[in-house]
Amino acid sequence: MPRQPAAPKDSHKIDVAVVSHSKDADGITSAALIHHLMGGIVILTDYSEMIESLSKVGPVREVFICDLGVNKSTFDGFLEELRRLANHSKVHYIDHHPIDPEFESQIKEVGVDLYHSKEESSAVLVFKKFESQLYASPNMKILACCGAITDYMDLQPFARKLIASFDRQFLLYEATVLSFSIAMISRDGAGANPLLAHIVEELGDKGKLPHEMDNASSYAQEFASSSVALIERARNEGKKMVNFAYFKTRESSTGTVANFLIGALDVPVGVVFREDDSDHYEISLRSVQESKQDLGKIVGRISTKLEASGGGHAHAAGSRIRKDQLEQFMKMLDQELSVPA
């Protein structure tokens, strides 16, 4: 049995496991929607730990894997776990990160139910897949909207329709409270953080909205205050390269900091290196909407060359490298970004 899941509500046999992205609201809401429908255990994880997390899933009836993209360096291990899981479970992989067509067919070959589209956020894909069962639950619809908004995918065709059935400002508030709460909680490490698993329980099982979660307002307030300080630090400590600016921090909400960096130093790309006590950096990259370059592809190529995990979307990407690869990473990034799209 997995090590750190949210405890099942009763002692019935666990027959469903959801493995989803721990770090952002899209992954958390995807997990909450599945949890609402199926119960079972929730395992939140990140790119650097996803294969290990999957390896802890024992024999259950169904496994759902959400919002966890794969690239060249993670695919083999991922496929191996899918193959193992598919021996005794129905495995569903619901994701929206770019995927190599060759990987797609290999995933299907091992018998996995692949539900993939780059068009919508992962939470919206989950909602779409189970629309007939979720449509009558306004709160679940709101959660799907939150996933779309926080992944900047609120203008996509299906998300746009869902969002139009509520008040936009109300949804922005819910999405913000959720992502700020996740950011505050993740300061003490994401991954198997029990407070993140607790959020999934509150949203999915208890049917709460983000603003009704325990401590939601204080988390949001605290994060907003610390954001002001971060903007200031990004301005003072951020370093400008030719095609991007970067910043090193111990802050966990690196995506937000990368966006602050773009504004503070007026650059098209913001790069944040998160230091912790390990010998690795976790990197978040963000680019302005006007940028024609595909950050996810660029970071994917660099990560593959460095034998690291990494990739993402056109305007939001991430990687994890060894500390001694920092110079190389920055050099390759500057080179890639200097090629006009």
104 or 167: CB nearest Mn ion: 104
Look up residue 203 and give its DSSP letter: I
Q: Tell me the closest approach of the beta carbon of residue 210 to Mn ion, in angstroms.
A: 17
Which tokens sit at 170?
């109300």
Site for Mn ion, residues 99 to 158, rule: CB under 5 A: 122, 151
Query: How near is the Cβ of 119 to Mn ion at its closest, in Å?
Result: 12
List the interface residues with Mn ion, window 192-251 (CB under 5 A).
Answer: none
Nearest residue to Mn ion by CB is: 26
DSSP-derived 3-state class of residue 250: coil
Residue 234: name the closest of 218, 253, 220 by CA: 253
Using alpha carbons, list the distances in angstroms from residue 33 to 19, 36, 120, 173: 12, 5, 15, 19
- Work out how close the CB of 148 gets to Mn ion at its nearest, in angstroms, rounded to a whole number: 9
Alpha-carbon distance of 141 to 159, in angstroms, equals 10
Binding footprint of Mn ion, residue count (CB under 5 A): 4
CB of 173 to Mn ion, least distance (A): 20
Q: Looking at 73-200, which runs of residues are DSSP E strands?
A: 90-95, 113-116
Half-sphere exposure of 210 (CA within 13 A, CB side): 30
Site string for Mn ion, 24-63 (x = CB under 5 A): --x-------------------------------------
* Nearest distance in Å: CB 185, Mn ion: 18
By the rule CB under 5 A, 67 interacts with Mn ion: yes
By beta-carbon proximity to Mn ion, the closer residue of 158 and 246 is 158
**Hey, how many other C-beta atoms are within 10 angstroms of the C-beta on 137?**
15
Positions in the binding site for Mn ion (CB under 5 A): 26, 67, 122, 151
